[in-house]
């Protein structure tokens, strides 16, 4: 199976790198996970376009401009949310956007109130879990990309 995954492409590292080759299963599963959180069959209230916009936004918060551009391509009407200066009010998503920013960039300070606030705002438990999985996967993918880029520089 050709290993053309988002993380390898974004880091500019070839699937023929011996270390990557030895972990090909992990890169395949990483791509499957991307499908599951960005383009799930059962998206709940968070459409594929909204997920793409939030993914782009989290990439920007992490200084990953190229990945942000890649995700923003699927953001459609939610494209403004890819800019962290947009607070989501215009989309009726201010609470969701603020929560996603905090989980992505200030994880350690997340508290019970952040979850109870979403629940009080009418977000169902299953949909809170969906938001967390999207955010959590991106934290992983973005760091894999950042790490691979450094690895490539050091072992070239």
Q: What is the distance between the alpha carbons of residues 20 and 72, in angstroms, rounded to a whole number?
A: 27
Specify the residue for token string 């920013």.
101
Nearer of residues 77 and 125 to another protein, judged by Cβ: 125
Contacts with 67 (C-beta within 8 Å, 6 or more apart), sequence order: 6, 10, 56, 59, 141, 142, 145
Instruction: Please state the closest distance from residue 91 (CB atom) to another protein, in A.
Output: 22
Between 44 and 90, whose beta carbon lies closer to another protein? 44
State the residue for tokens 């989290």: 58
Residues 6+ apart with CB under 8 A from 153: none
Centre a 10 Å sphere on the Cβ of residue 73 and count the other Cβ atoms it contains.
Answer: 10
Which of 6/141 has CB closer to another protein?
Answer: 141
Phi and psi dihedrals of 137, rounded to 5?
-60, -45
Task: Provide the minimum distance between the beta carbon of 92 and another protein in the complex, in angstroms, as a whole number.
Answer: 22
Choose between 49 and 146: whose C-beta lies nearer to another protein: 146
Cβ atoms of 109 and 45 within 8 Å: the answer is no
Q: Is there a contact between 40 and 129 (Cβ–Cβ < 8 Å)?
A: no
* In the complex, least distance from residue 45 CB atom to another protein, rounded to whole angstroms: 13
Nearest approach, Cβ of residue 50 and another protein (Å): 15
Nearer to another protein, 7 or 86 (CB): 7
Can you give the binding site for another protein, defined by CB under 8 A?
Answer: 17-20, 22-23, 25-26, 29-30, 32-33, 36-37, 40-42, 61-64, 103-110, 112, 114-116, 119, 125-126, 128-130, 132-133, 135-137, 139-144, 146-148, 150-151, 153-155
Q: State the nearest-atom distance from the C-beta of 53 to another protein, in Å.
A: 18
């Amino acid at each position: 199976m050709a290993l053309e995954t988002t993380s390898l492409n974004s880091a500019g590292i070839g699937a023929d790198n011996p270390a990557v080759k030895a972990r090909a299963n992990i890169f395949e599963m990483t791509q499957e996970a991307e499908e599951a959180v960005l383009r799930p069959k059962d998206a709940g209230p968070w459409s594929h376009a909204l997920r793409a916009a939030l993914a782009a936004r989290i990439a920007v918060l992490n200084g990953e401009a190229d990945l942000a551009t890649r995700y923003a391509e699927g953001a459609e009407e939610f494209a403004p949310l890819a800019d962290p200066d947009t607070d989501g009010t215009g989309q009726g998503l201010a609470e969701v956007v603020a929560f996603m920013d905090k989980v992505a960039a200030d994880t350690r300070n997340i508290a019970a109130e952040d979850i109870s606030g979403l629940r009080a705002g009418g977000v169902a438990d299953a949909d809170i879990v969906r938001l967390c999985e999207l955010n959590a996967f991106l934290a992983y993918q973005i760091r894999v990309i950042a790490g691979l880029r450094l690895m490539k520089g050091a072992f070239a």
